[in-house]
């Protein structure tokens, strides 16, 4: 039964991506605001599809902690859903994303409009380009979204904070808002099956700018780890 429901959702996912993506593309190519609106609509269709076909609900907690203007969002990463759903509750996000995503059919066009692509093998040059683009984005009032662990992790994996988030925090001098989640329980980082349950994104209180590197790193880890553990336990209880 789970396989059939997952198959129906996969059809829904790619069909809505194709239809919405192609219909909105002519305007999205020239308007970032319109592109964000299109991705936001796509995220809403996926939340609906997960509920309809897979018995997966989506909940967002702590929206009062989101910055009204520029900010740095440090989000746990367990699933592809983490790159889609936040558009439903963030006003003006700019994702730090790997440049390979720009080559994806349809999706790549929108990634180029709403993201800051980086070459993960580019070393110091990548850091400089990412920082320059992030400064420009925050000057325009955007919220920089980064996965501080760099790539998707299993739900029970403790946070492993990479240098990129520390560089952005030190240089942008804006509050850093951690986001914990449990998406990997229902929508695995790899694999086809979508398991019934309750997905929760929890926006945590912001970390003020100005902390020293080690203090910031530990503060971020201390925010993400217990909140993620709690959400994962809650999600597992909902699946039983």
If phi > 0 it is left, if psi is from -120 to 50 it is alpha, else beta; for residue 87 that is alpha
Q: What is the mean pLDDT of residues 59-63?
A: 97
Residue labelled with tokens 């939340």 = 47
pTM of the model: 0.94
DSSP H or E segment with residue 202: strand 197-203
pLDDT in tens, 102-114: 888 888 889 888 8
Q: What is the mean pLDDT of residues 109-120?
A: 85
Among 65-74, 86-95, 124-133, 162-171, name the one with the lowest average pLDDT.
Answer: 124-133
- Residue 183: pLDDT over 90: yes
Q: Do residues 107 and 80 lie in contact, with contact meaning Cβ atoms separated by under 8 Å?
A: no
Query: Which CATH number does the domain 59-239 belong to among 3.40.50.10190, 3.20.20.10, 3.40.1130.10, 1.10.10.10?
Result: 3.40.1130.10
Distance CA 16, CA 49 (A): 10
Q: Do residues 153 and 143 lie in contact, with contact meaning Cβ atoms separated by under 8 Å?
A: no
Structure tokens at 66: 């989101």
Q: pLDDT band for position 204 (50/70/90)? A: very high
Q: Do residues 114 and 36 lie in contact, with contact meaning Cβ atoms separated by under 8 Å?
A: yes
Domain map (residue ranges) of the chain: 59-239
Would you state the pLDDT for residue 47? 98
pLDDT in tens, 9-50: 999 999 999 999 999 999 999 999 999 999 999 999 999 999
Q: pLDDT band for position 122 (50/70/90)? A: low
Would you state the pLDDT for residue 240? 72
């Amino acid at each position: 039964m789970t396989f059939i429901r997952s198959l129906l959702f996969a059809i829904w996912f790619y069909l809505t991506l194709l239809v919405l993506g192609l219909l909105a593309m002519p305007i999205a190519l020239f308007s970032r605001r319109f592109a964000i609106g299109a991705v936001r609509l796509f995220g809403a269709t996926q939340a609906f599809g997960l509920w309809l076909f897979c018995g997966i609900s989506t909940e967002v907690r702590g929206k009062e902690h989101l910055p009204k203007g520029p900010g740095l969002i440090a989000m746990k990463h367990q699933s592809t859903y983490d790159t889609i759903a936040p558009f439903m509750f963030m006003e003006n996000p700019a994702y730090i994303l790997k440049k390979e995503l720009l080559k994806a059919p349809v999706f790549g066009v929108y990634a180029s409009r709403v993201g800051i692509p980086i070459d993960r093998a580019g070393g110091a040059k990548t850091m400089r380009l990412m920082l320059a683009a992030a400064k420009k984005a925050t000057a325009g009032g955007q919220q920089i979204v980064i996965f501080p662990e760099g790539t998707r992790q299993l739900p029970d994996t403790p946070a492993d904070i990479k240098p990129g988030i520390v560089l952005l925090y030190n240089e942008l001098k804006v509050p850093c808002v951690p986001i914990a989640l449990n998406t990997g329980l229902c929508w695995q980082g790899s694999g086809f099956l979508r398991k019934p349950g309750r997905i929760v994104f929890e926006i945590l209180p912001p970390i003020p700018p100005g902390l020293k590197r080690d203090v910031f790193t530990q503060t971020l880890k201390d925010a993400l780890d217990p909140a993620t553990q709690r959400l994962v336990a809650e999600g597992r209880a909902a699946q039983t």
